[in-house]
Amino acid sequence: MTDTPVPRTHVSVLFVGGGQGGLSLSHLLQQEGIDHVVLEKNRIGHSWRDERWDSFCLVTPNHHCRLPGYDYGADHGGTDPHGFMVKDEIVAFIEGYAKKVKPPIREGVAVTRIVQEGAGYLVETTDGVYTADRVVIAISGYHVPIVPRVGQGMPAGVTQIQSLDYRNPDALPDGAVLVVGSGQSGCQIAEDLHLAGRQVHLAVGDAPRAPRQYRGKDSTEWLEEMGHYDLPIDDHPMSEKVRQNENHYLTGRDGGREIDLRLFATQGMKLYGMLAGVDQGVVRFQPDLSEHLDRADATFNRIRATIDGYIAREGIDAPSADPYVPCWSPPEEPLSLDLAAEGIGSVVWCTGFRMDFSFIEAPVFDARGYPDHHRGVSAHPGLYFIGLPWLNTWGSGRFHAVARDAAHIVDHIAASLAPAQRMVAAG
C-alpha cells in the first residue's frame, strides 16, 4: 500500500505575509505579469489592528506613507500630510491599498515550513502544500516578545503583559504600573498611562531620543531633505551594526511632540535604571539612570546640531532655537522598588522582540537569527526578505522606503525567472 500523494499548488512567487511589504510586491508583480500568491497568517492589517494600543499613532508624518501606486494624499484621500495617523486610520490606509491592489491573498493561512526542493521551494502551510520558484518573506523582524531573564521572578499576583497586548490604562488592574523599557513603545505606553493619571514607574534603557519640531519644521522633514533617510547601509559609518540600534523615541500624539523623560519625572513619573533582577517582590535596578538620560540627550542634541549645520551650509532662513537645558536630574540612583509597598499591580514589558525564522530551512541566518542578504536578496538563491529594519536604508522597516525596496526585489525576481515561469496562472 502506498501513501496518497499530497496535492500541491504551484506558483512562480509565494509571499509569506500580507502587510505593506507583501501588498507592495503584489502590485509590482501584477504589473510584470508574474503569477504569485500571498499567504497571510491572520488578515490584512492584523499587526496594526490587533497588536497596537488604542492611542497608538505613527511617529513619522503621513506624507511618508507612500506605497507603489498609492499615496496618502492623492490616492488614499488623506488631508493631513504633516499629521500622524492613529491606529484606525493606519488600518484604513492599508485596507484601502489592498482594495486597489486586489492581491491574490489567502488569509488565515500560516506557513509552517519552507525547504528547498530542486531549483525552487516546497512550502508547507495550514492550508496545504505549495511549490514556488521564488519565496519572499514579508513579516518584518518583530516576532517573539522578549522578557529578560532577570525579570522572570515577578510575583504571581502581579499582572504581566507584553507591549503588543497593551490596549489602554483601564484594561490593567488598579494601582501603579511598572513599565520596563524606554524604546518607542515603552515611552509611549508610559506616557499613555501617565496622562490617564496612573502612577508610572519606568525602567529606562539605552534608547536614544529625537527632536520633533525644530527650527520651523518637523525633524524628519529636515533629515529627509538632507538625504539622511536615503543613505544605504553600505555607506553608513556603522555598516551592518546599525541594524542593532534601538529606534529613537518621540511621538506623533496630539499632532506630534518630543518625549522628555526628565519632564515626566517632574510630573511625578518614577524613573529607574535598567532592570537588574527581582527577588521576593523587590525589583532591583542598575545604577545607570543618569547615564541613559545623558546619552539620550546627547543623541537629541547631536541631531539638532546636524540640522543646524545643514541650515548654515545651505544659507536657509530658519527660525532660531534655544539650546536644550535639562529640566531634571536624578538626585540619587534609585536601586530598588518594592512592588507591594508601591501598590504596583501590573508590569508592561517593552523590551523588544527577537526574530523567529525557524520555519525556513535554509543556511542563511547568523547566530542572532538574522538573514544574510543584500537589499533583501538573500544568499540562498530564490529567497528574499522585505520589511526588516535597515534592509537597505533607515526607512526599510517603515512605510517610507517600502516602495523602493519592493521594486528592487521585483526587478531581481523578474530578471531571474525564465519566460515559462512568469505566467503559470495564465497557462
217-240 residue pLDDT tens? 999 999 999 999 899 999 888 888
Q: Where is the domain boundary, 333, 349, 365?
A: 349
pLDDT at 425: 41
My answer on whether 241 and 158 are in the same domain is yes
Contact 194, 269 (CB under 8 A): yes
Can you give the pLDDT at residue 424? 47
The separation between the first and the last C-alpha atoms of the chain, rounded to the nearest angstrom, is: 34
* 156 and 127 both lie in a single domain: no
Q: Which tops the pLDDT comparison, 112 or 390?
A: 112
Query: How many of the other CB atoms lie within 10 Å of CB of 238?
Result: 11
| Cβ(38)–Cβ(101) below 8 Å | no
Task: Inform me whether the pLDDT recorded for 1 exceeds 60.
Answer: no
Residues of the chain with pLDDT > 70, as a percent, come to 97
Q: Let me know if residue 1 belongs to a domain.
A: no
As given in the structure block, the three cell numbers for residue 325 are: 537645558
- Let me know if residue 224 belongs to a domain: yes
Q: Which of 349, 371, 387 is the last residue of a domain?
A: 349
Per-residue CA distances from 278 to 151, 259, 336, 346 (Å):
6, 28, 9, 14
Confidence of residue 305 (pLDDT cuts 50, 70, 90): very high
> Are residues 311 and 292 part of one domain?
yes
What's 100's domain CATH number? 3.50.50.60
Choose one of 301, 327, 349: the last residue of a domain.
349
**Euclidean distance between CA atoms 56 and 90, whole angstroms:** 10
Q: Is residue 157 part of a domain?
A: yes
Residue of 183, 142, 178, 181 lying closest to 160 (CA atoms):
178
Is 427 within the bounds of a domain? no
Between 244 and 283, name the one with better pLDDT: 283
H or E segment at 420?
Answer: helix 419-422
The answer, yes or no, to whether residue 2 has pLDDT greater than 80, is no
In this structure, the answer to whether residues 316 and 414 fall within a common structural domain is no
Per-residue pLDDT band for 423 (boundaries 50, 70, 90) equals low
**Is residue 287 domain-shared with residue 203, that is, in the same domain?**
yes
pLDDT (mean) for 409-427: 76
Sequence-distant (≥ 6) Cβ neighbours of residue 186 within 8 angstroms: 163, 179, 180, 202, 205, 207, 249, 348, 350, 351
Domain count, the chain: 2
Residue 267: the pLDDT is 98
* pLDDT digit string, tens, across residues 263-282: 999 999 999 999 999 999 99
| pLDDT band (50, 70, 90) for residue 341 | very high
Q: 285 pLDDT exceeds 70?
A: yes
Sign of torsion over alpha carbons 392, 417, 18, 224? positive
What integer is the mean pLDDT of 401-417?
95
Chain segment 67-91, per-residue pLDDT in tens = 999 999 999 999 999 999 999 999 9
- Do 55 and 39 meet the contact criterion of CB atoms below 8 Å apart? no
Within a domain: 182: yes
161/298 same-domain check = yes
Task: For residues 158 and 209, state if they share a domain.
Answer: yes
In a domain, 107, yes or no: yes
If you average pLDDT over every residue of the chain, what do you get? 93
Check pLDDT > 60 for residue 426: no
Q: Taking residues 187-195, what's their average pLDDT?
A: 98
Closest CA to 224 of 86, 79, 387, 60: 60
Q: 293 and 412, same structural domain?
A: no
Distance CA 420, CA 427 (A): 9
d(CA 102, CA 49): 20
The residue range of the domain holding 77 is 8-143+355-422
Q: Look at residue 173 and tell me whether its pLDDT is greater than 70.
A: yes
Checking if the pLDDT of 191 tops 90, the result is yes
Over range 191-220, report the average pLDDT: 97
pLDDT, mean of residues 32-47: 96
Q: What is the pairing mode between strands 200-203 and 176-180?
A: parallel
Q: Give a yes or no: residue 47 inside a domain.
A: yes
Q: Are residues 72 and 198 in the same domain?
A: no
